[in-house]
Amino acid sequence: MIIFFCRSYGKPVWFDSGAGYPIAGEVIDVTRSRISIKSLLNVKTFVFGIDETARVVSRIPLPPEGVNDMITMSDLSEASILWNIKVRYDNRQFYTYIGSILVAVNPYHMYHEMYSTNYVQKYENALVLNALPAHIFATASLAHSKMFTDKINQCVVISGESGGGKTQSTKLIMNYLASVNPGKNKLITEQILEASPLLESFGNAKTVRNDNSSRFGKYIEIYYSQKSIVGAKLSDFLLEKSRIVTHSIDERNYHVFYELLEGFDTEEKRKYGLTIPEKYFYLNQGASMAIASKSDAHDFQSLLTAMKILNFTKNEQETIFKILAAILHLGNIYFSRTIDDANHDLIQISSKTEIEWCSHLLGLNDQGLLQKLTHKVTEARDERLLSPFNLEQALDSRDAIAKALYSTLFSWLVARINQIVRVNNSVDNSIAILDIFGFENFSTNSFEQLCINYANEALQFHFNRHVFKLEQEEYAKEKLAWKKIDFSDNTDCLDLIGKKPNGILQILDDESNFPKATDQSFLHKCHRLHESNRLYGKPRLLKTTFSIRHYAGDVEYDVRGFLDKNRDLLRSDVIDLFSSSRNEILANMFRDIRDVYESHRGFHFKTGRFITMKAKTPTVSAKFSDSLSHLIDTMTRCQPTFIRCIKPNNDKTPNKLELSVVLEQLRNTGMLETVRIRKLGFPRRYLFEQFAKR
């Protein structure tokens, strides 16, 4: 834009108020020494001296309803793009296009009329993307039609910060696809849809940023044959295990625990030894038992309906509830410290009732569970030696067992769903939807946030590659007249975190394989290898932290607990205990884990001996990196459609858009450059064969 000296009343302008974002205004007075401008944001008057005219620039007014597709705007400035999104948001137009890319701003309220059957039919019949106001149904329709016309597998990549509305967007796309192509077997379509609320109960939780935050990632592939849905496959990534035993103030554990306690009647609670959420240590740490916008009792009924449609047997449902109840009882087990004659610390369990409930619900012997909570087993040739835990070790053992129970149940649920909705015959094509945890930056960030943000860096790279790199390479290859557009390349950040041999996660894996390594030794190694890296931050004071400059901003990570979380080892004697449960479903869950451990470690559970020298069990970061690499490879083979979810404010308030919050996200994700490359480029393209067919 051109800096100007304004001498006309009513002139539309952008001005810098010092708030960190541009504001739309109109000139209301001009003198020799100053310019007075009325803000269109809050009707305040701002006065600028003649020497401050650089803070005032001319503005091309937007239509009252905003612009549906931002590549059609004549003004591609940061201010115009930001205010176009605001104008549309204020008009309840929460979707805006950048060519075929959809920008979706979370209203923090469900407008059901916008997603009715009438809307499905309207967007299903639209022949051109811009024929109707921007909408997520139009984006779903585009991917759906391209799958059939181009005969290429499609992938809808939904990304954005936590609280941007990614999970809701995923559900809306799936509902649309189910409505327009239900298939001959309507039950399989219904089962695919019901998988989402079921996993939402078990995999989502309230955080300070989001009342329904996904604490795992999921990639859903919906398969088609003869233009009908015939099945699906669901892949999950990195369930946040630590949430099962601890969460911060104003946060909750996973939804399903509260749904269970609110949904059970008095008799059912008595059957499982349960009471109200406030009574459970694993649920009351955040002092936030309820969510204003959510009915846990209603959602429990929805969960039961989903289980019924997905053909979960009565026995399977009861086993699920027993495991959940047992976890709550586990969290309420407390220990007391005593001193023996040799002045050694000893601990004993002071909550016998909770032990009895856990053992009863899990089909275990009381003494067997008690031993696992209070003693460590050491392998020595032909015998197992028991050594007592101190208080801290006993609490860690309790929490490790709770995390193992829940994460094993979650993995079993995913496998069970896949078994039910799997494809039995050949397929023609597929549409995949990626709903993965958003970028996170809390007051304290740990191992989970590093993995989550690494995944978001990988998705940002995937987006950049398609929108900027491959696009401009194609223009050069076709010898088109083109002025290169620079974009923020995050390759260096990906290398810092994950590249072998010295990426941060590689260092963590190396340290995790040394029994004497500590979180501090891991941190010192990171400092030594990366303190000169412009993206890496070493604290000035002696702190247990390092920081990384991500595409979405700087994040400080606290390394305390990194090694334990990465190793995530479950003791063989604990696996053995649950494998011998009288509950056959639970026993089989842990027998599967035992088989995996044996295959990696050559450990024979019956004799307790290592029988071979096989490779070590993969760490959490190694498994996650492999899964992430496989995910990106899979998406690369698909034709992508991108949805960028935007969080409008930080306090989850409905219909409130804060310009500073939105602008930061637009800058960090390259949206401003995206508008320019789509505007100047060639958003519509066909292969010769496709063009000839048309």
Per-residue model confidence as pLDDT tens digits over 302-318: 999 999 999 999 999 99
Domain-embedded: residue 498: no
Does 602 count as an annotated binding residue? Answer: no
CA-atom Rg of the chain in angstroms: 28
Burial class (CB in 10 A: 0-12, 13-18, 19+), 214: buried
Burial class (CB in 10 A: 0-12, 13-18, 19+), 8: exposed
Does 681 count as an annotated binding residue? Answer: no
Residue 120 Cα distances to 176, 177, 191, 543, 685, angstroms: 6, 9, 20, 54, 26
CB 228 within 8 Å of CB 184: yes
pLDDT at position 2 over 60: no
Rounded distance between C-alpha atoms, residue 465 and residue 477, angstroms? 16
pLDDT at position 692 over 80: no
The pLDDT, as a whole number, for residue 7 is 53
End-to-end Cα, the chain, rounded Å: 41
The pLDDT, as a whole number, for residue 76 is 86
Does 263 count as an annotated binding residue? Answer: no
Does 607 count as an annotated binding residue? Answer: no
Q: What is the mean pLDDT of residues 9-37?
A: 91
Higher pLDDT: 291 or 691? It is 291
Pairing between strand 154-160 and 217-225? unpaired
Task: Count how many domains the chain has.
Answer: 1
CATH number at residue 40: 2.30.30
pLDDT at position 554 over 50: yes
Does 269 count as an annotated binding residue? Answer: no
Residue 5's pLDDT band (boundaries 50, 70, 90)?
Answer: very low
* List of residues 6+ apart from 33 with CB closer than 8 A: 49, 50
Per-residue model confidence as pLDDT tens digits over 469-517: 777 777 777 777 767 777 778 999 999 999 999 999 999 999 999 989 9
Range of the domain at 27: 12-58
Question: If DSSP codes are grouped into helix, strand and coil, which group holds residue 228?
Answer: strand
Rounded distance between C-alpha atoms, residue 232 and residue 194, angstroms? 12
Burial class (CB in 10 A: 0-12, 13-18, 19+), 479: exposed
Does 538 count as an annotated binding residue? Answer: no
208's tokens: 């300070």
Average pLDDT of the chain to the nearest whole number: 90
Long-range contacts of 419-422 (CB under 8 A, 24+ apart): 420/191, 420/310, 420/311, 421/188, 421/191, 421/192, 421/195, 421/231, 421/232, 421/233, 421/234, 422/231, 422/232, 422/233
User: How many helices and strands, by DSSP H and E, does the chain display?
Assistant: 25, 23
Higher pLDDT: 419 or 568? It is 419
Cα dihedral across residues 519, 525, 528, 533: positive or negative: negative
Which of the residues are catalytic? 162-163, 167, 210, 213-214, 438, 440
Hunting for tokens 């990384």 — which residue is that?
Answer: 548
Question: If DSSP codes are grouped into helix, strand and coil, which group holds residue 31?
Answer: coil
Burial class (CB in 10 A: 0-12, 13-18, 19+), 494: middle
* List of residues 6+ apart from 5 with CB closer than 8 A: 50, 53
Amino acid at 381: R
Domain-embedded: residue 169: no
Question: If DSSP codes are grouped into helix, strand and coil, which group holds residue 375?
Answer: strand
The pLDDT, as a whole number, for residue 688 is 59
* Beta bridge partners of residue 205, listed in sequence order: 213, 254
Rounded distance between C-alpha atoms, residue 630 and residue 380, angstroms? 40
The pLDDT, as a whole number, for residue 669 is 86
454's tokens: 């690494």
660's tokens: 């500073």
Q: What is the mean pLDDT of residues 80-97?
A: 97
Q: What is the mean pLDDT of residues 220-243?
A: 94
Least confident of 36-45, 131-140, 413-422, 594-603: 594-603
Instruction: Say what percent of the chain tops pLDDT 70.
Output: 93
* Beta bridge partners of residue 48, listed in sequence order: 35
Q: What are phi and psi of 144, to 5 degrees?
A: -65, -45
Q: How far is CA 593 from the centre of its chain?
A: 25
Task: Give the global pTM.
Answer: 0.90
CB 446 within 8 Å of CB 242: yes
Residue 673's pLDDT band (boundaries 50, 70, 90)?
Answer: confident
Rounded distance between C-alpha atoms, residue 200 and residue 303, angstroms? 9
Question: If DSSP codes are grouped into helix, strand and coil, which group holds residue 30?
Answer: strand
* CA-wise closest residue to 346 among 375, 382, 388, 310: 388
Rounded distance between C-alpha atoms, residue 202 and residue 565, angstroms? 20
The pLDDT, as a whole number, for residue 614 is 45
